[in-house]
């Protein structure tokens, strides 16, 4: 590398002619991606609002991709690959949790100045977030009514509503590994949201009380707990950001806003993995 007149020269091996070759922008479709920010108002802070939500949607797309992969990995008894996918999703949620700090720089007075242009658009309508919740077990068929006008989104949620969850796949893996998972849980209606079942606790108690014999299963249990913690922290940061920005106003989509987000904190994907801690060593 040489510096001439204070300017660093381009290394001789660096490609510069992309007339017939793919470049960075082409690979990432940057022309499309960077033209997708279309503020409705001329308010200086609206681009922040758009970018924060669009990047979150990109991360949710990756999370859904990985969680579907984790489910397939468990079906194939590939615990190592499943654990890698769960770790990735956990870090995705940590990343979008940190993103709330950027959006939180939007003060109540600033947001009020352009909130009206959003109409009824609301994060409550994020079908990718609903898809992530569905694949993790928080299913609600009524949520499909939010995407009736978007056939692709409706088809995605309908597919996931009819499909086993990551937890279902894990329980089936445990059964194939010799654990006495109750039959009614293996044959359950996967369209229904998961509800805590005490008959599963002896299975997890046995795993946690002999981690040497059941290391792979134990590690998966802890990975699932890590993931749920990451999702809950994201939910909590969402709640606090909304509260500091709009207080207790009704959401743009018609939800109760902060009160709705508070109730979401009571939702859990893997309840038995928390309850079992009371029984370990008792």
Per residue in 28-85, pLDDT tens? 999 999 999 999 999 999 999 999 999 999 999 999 999 999 999 999 999 999 999 9
- Using the CB atoms, write b or e for 238-277: b if 16+ within 10 Å: bbebbeebbeeeebbbeeebbebbeeeeebbbbbbbebbe
Residue 257: its pLDDT value, please?
A: 81
Could you tell me which residues are annotated as the binding site for substrate? 111, 115, 252
Judge whether residue 2 has pLDDT over 80.
no
DSSP result, 149-200: T-HHHHHHHHHHHTS--HHHHHHHHHHHTT----HHHHTS-TTSPP---GGG
User: What pLDDT, on the 0 to 100 scale, is given for residue 259?
Assistant: 86
d(CA 73, CA 82): 5
Higher per-residue pLDDT: 263 or 26: 26
Residues flagged as binding site: 111, 115, 238, 252
Query: Could you tell me which residues are annotated as the binding site for heme?
Result: 238
Q: What is the pLDDT of residue 264?
A: 84
Judged against a pLDDT cut of 90, whether residue 253 lies above it is answered with no
């Amino acid at each position: 590398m040489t510096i001439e007149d204070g300017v660093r020269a381009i290394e001789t091996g660096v490609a510069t002619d992309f007339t017939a070759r793919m470049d960075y922008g082409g690979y990432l479709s940057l022309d499309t991606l960077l033209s997708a920010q279309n503020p409705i108002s001329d308010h200086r802070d609206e681009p922040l609002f758009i970018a924060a939500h669009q990047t979150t949607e990109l991360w949710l797309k990756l999370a859904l991709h990985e969680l579907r992969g984790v489910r397939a990995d468990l079906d194939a008894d590939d615990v190592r690959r499943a654990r890698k996918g769960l770790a990735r999703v956990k870090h995705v949620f940590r990343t979008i949790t940190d993103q709330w700090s950027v959006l939180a720089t939007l003060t109540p007075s600033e947001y009020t100045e352009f909130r009206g242009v959003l109409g009824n658009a609301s994060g409550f309508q994020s079908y990718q977030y609903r898809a992530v919740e569905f694949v993790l077990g928080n299913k609600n068929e009524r949520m499909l009514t939010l995407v009736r006008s978007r056939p692709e989104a409706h088809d995605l949620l309908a597919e996931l509503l009819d499909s086993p969850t990551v937890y279902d796949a894990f329980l089936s893996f445990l059964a194939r590994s010799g654990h006495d998972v109750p039959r009614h849980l293996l044959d359950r209606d996967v369209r229904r949201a998961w509800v805590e079942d005490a008959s599963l606790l002896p299975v997890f108690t046995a795993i946690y009380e002999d981690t040497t014999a059941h290391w792979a299963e134990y590690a998966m249990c802890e990975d699932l707990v890590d993931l749920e913690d990451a999702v809950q922290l994201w939910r909590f940061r969402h709640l606090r950001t909304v509260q500091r920005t709009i207080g207790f106003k009704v959401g743009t989509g018609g939800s109760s806003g902060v009160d709705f987000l508070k109730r979401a904190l009571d939702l859990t994907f893997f309840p038995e993995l928390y309850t079992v801690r009371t029984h370990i060593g008792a």
